[in-house]
Chain A
Amino acid sequence: MVLVLVAVCGTCVVLARDPLRQAVMASVYGLVLGILFFVFQAPDVALSQTVVGAVALPLMILLALAKVRFDEEERRR
């Protein structure tokens, strides 16, 4: 069940074309992957995966996107 969910989320991340949606989807994917590790009795890895994959990584992507958009707006003005 969780394995199928991981596969579906991973495919969604690849198929999302808009980087913003992709970042949010990557966050969901990180969370689901954390649940998978937990189900497979690796709670230590699950914790790391959840905090890094679901929070830290998408956050860095979002901040980078925000910076790029801001620069584009500046240039247009």
Chain B
Amino acid sequence: MKPATRRSLFLVAGGVLFAALIWGFAGLPDFGDFNGAYGQFLNGASTPERATTDVITAVNFDYRGFDTLGEEFILFAAVIGVTSLLRTLRGEREGAPDDDAPGRRVPETSLAVRITGLLLVGPTVLVGIYIVAHGHQTPGGGFQGGVILATGLLLTYLSADYLTMRRVGPTALIELAEGLGTAGFVLIALGGLVFAGVFFENFLPIGTAGRLLTAGTIPLGNVAVGLAVTGGFAFMLSEFLQQTLTKRRREVR
């Protein structure tokens, strides 16, 4: 294709896209002028019905818990996909990580990064746990808290080295968290089926809004998803790091 043809084709396509976007945006409701019956209903119903103060978590882990289950399995499948892509191929030999090799040529991490990272590990883990535990009351929940917790593991890599990270979060532990979290969420859903007759029905006592242990199965679901997400992200990170840091060479035959 000639550059001139390509340019004119782009101009036509871009013009049509731009016009469609303007047309679409003009038809949107004004900011803050939402008028969906389902949203209005849940805004009023979720606090008295479920004793949560965060409607979004009530939707994610109770009313539309089934969708979250699907998302959970998307993450699970993504982690499995990454793992199988980054596995050691046949005919590849895995060398020691650079950190470990004699005469290591890895540049030393600067002291500023080390100290900042070390100081941040504790607070990061604490914030992660807080966000998971208060998912049903304040913004956040299992997913957000889980990613923050995985970031805490990454900070140990930044402030020390790869081997220390493996010692703090061994693969077996990470895999356990991932599996337990995913299975736990399914079990909570099945518990609804067993104890209340409906898949994902909230079968635990609801309690009074504002206390920490309220909202029945919602905090449990948050913990399960938090575990699964921490495990999933930590697993992907350590797989990527391993892939980057270890020397893999094709064996010469």
Q: Which residue of B lies closest to A65 (CB)?
A: B244
Q: Are A51 and B139 within 8 A (Cβ)?
A: no
Closest to B56 in A: A44
Which of B31, B139, B240 has a CB less than 8 Å from the CB of A43?
A: B139
Whether B139 pairs with A59 at a CB distance below 8 angstroms is no
Q: Which residue of chain A is the closest to B241 with respect to CB atoms? A: A63
Within 1-50 of A, Cβ neighbours of B (below 8 Å) are at 40, 43-44, 46-48
With both beta carbons as reference points, the residue of chain B lying nearest to A38 in the complex is identified as B139
Given contacts A44-B54, A47-B131, A55-B151, contact A63 B143 (CB under 8 A): no
Bound state CA distance, A40 and B43, in angstroms? Answer: 17
Residues of B within 8 A of A (CB): 31, 54, 56-57, 131, 139-141, 143-144, 147-148, 150-151, 154, 233, 236-237, 240-241, 243-244, 247, 249
- Which residue numbers of A lie inside 8 Å of B, CB to CB? 40, 43-44, 46-48, 51-52, 55-56, 59-60, 63-64, 66-67, 70, 74
10 tightest Cβ-Cβ pairs between the two chains A and B? A43-B139, A51-B147, A47-B144, A63-B240, A44-B56, A67-B244, A44-B139, A66-B244, A63-B244, A47-B140
A40-B31, A43-B140, A48-B143 are known contacts; what are 16 more A-B pairs with Cβ within 8 Å? A43-B139, A44-B54, A44-B140, A46-B139, A47-B131, A47-B140, A47-B144, A48-B147, A51-B144, A51-B148, A56-B147, A56-B233, A60-B240, A63-B240, A63-B241, A67-B243
